[in-house]
Amino acid sequence: MTEEALKDLLYKIADDQLILGHRNSEWTGMGPLLEEDIAFSSMAQDKVGQSLAFYTLLQELGEQEPDIVAFTRNAEQFHNCQLVELPSGEYDFSLIRHFLFDHSELIRFQMLAECPVEEVAQVARKLKGEVKYHVMHANTWVKQLASANDEANTRMQKSLDYALPYALGIFEASKFENDFIEAGIYPGEKAIETKWKENIALVLEEAGLKLPNWSEIKPVYGGRYGKHTKHLQPLLTEMSEVFNVDPTADW
């Protein structure tokens, strides 16, 4: 496997985390109750911290330092899936996105924990515990809200239906897909997708939410190749606003 392939993998993981971390941090100070405000903000911070771990691996592979990579690229240079860049919307959508994304991330980290590239395996092993809590959080909330009352259930179902095509975009195949599988880096996006469908179905069924027929959902692809919604660039502009005041400042 080439270094280019490994970088492709690390970039998409790091970019997903940075963008979702930033999106979720928009709830800070506005969460539905104080305790949840703190919990959701903490997890948003975790995500940004996780992106730093992967940008640091990229730096070791010769890429620029994490701050430069995070703050100076344009939307089309980002490899995140479109799911994570969508506006936060109402809390039901943010929770559903958190649920769908983190389930995939937990499987990804569990697989990467066995990666023969030891540096990558180490980071994955360390971070998967953190993501395990994120998934516990997501599962509990989804079950709680979906069974609360009719309005809550309807809203959760609506958000789920809206998010699913984008969620399938998490698993958009890389052009290096076969290289990863052959080199045993991880079993590939299809494998994550299959396991993910099983895992979320268990929770959604318990929660009383309906999964549509997968064959009827058209995945929203493009994010992994730099094709994004109109929502990503404004997010990046806002995120890098302070950095751009003085890019050489030492924080």
Partner 1 sequence: MSEFLNSLDPRINRLSIPVEFGSTFPEKDQKDQFITFEVFVQPKVSKAYQHEGIVHAPTDEMAFLFAKEQFSRRGMSCSGIWVVRTQEIQVSPITEDGDNIYAYINEEIMEGATTSESTKYQVFHLMKRGKQHVHVGEVEASSPEQALLHAKNSFASEKPVFNLWIVKDSLFMKIEGEDFQDIWNTLPDKKYRDAMDYRATEKIKKFKAEQNA
Least distance in angstroms from the C-beta of 223 to partner 1: 27
| CB contact at 8 A, 207 and 120 | no
State yes or no: residue 42 binds partner 1 (CB under 8 A).
yes
State yes or no: residue 245 binds partner 1 (CB under 8 A).
no
Q: How far apart are CA 204 and CA 11, in angstroms?
A: 30
**Residue 73, C-beta contacts closer than 8 angstroms, at least 6 positions apart:** 236
State yes or no: residue 33 binds partner 1 (CB under 8 A).
yes
Taking the least distance from each CB to partner 1, the nearer of 53 and 86 is: 53
Least distance in angstroms from the C-beta of 141 to partner 1: 8
Q: What is the dihedral of CA 19, 20, 23, 29, to 10 degrees?
A: -130
Q: Which of 12, 22, 97, 128 binds partner 1 (CB under 8 A)?
A: 128
Q: Which of 30, 65, 76, 129 binds partner 1 (CB under 8 A)?
A: 129
How many helices and strands, by DSSP H and E, does the chain display?
11, 0
State yes or no: residue 43 binds partner 1 (CB under 8 A).
yes
Tell me, residue by residue from 142 to 161, as one string, x for binding to partner 1 by CB under 8 A and - for no binding.
--x-----------------
* Residue spans of alpha helices (H) in 61-90: 66-71, 82-85
Residue that the structure tokens 């958000």 belong to: 159
Least distance in angstroms from the C-beta of 2 to partner 1: 30
Handedness of CA 103, 107, 113, 115 (dihedral sign): negative
State yes or no: residue 121 binds partner 1 (CB under 8 A).
no
Taking the least distance from each CB to partner 1, the nearer of 137 and 155 is: 137
How many residues sit close enough to partner 1 to count as binding (CB under 8 A)? 24
Taking the least distance from each CB to partner 1, the nearer of 133 and 162 is: 133
Closest CA to 185 of 94, 116, 95, 131: 116
Alpha-carbon separation of residue 128 from 3, 83, 124, 217 (angstroms): 24, 21, 6, 29
Binding site residues, partner 1, CB under 8 A: 33-36, 38-39, 42-43, 45-46, 49, 126-130, 132-133, 136-137, 140-141, 144, 250
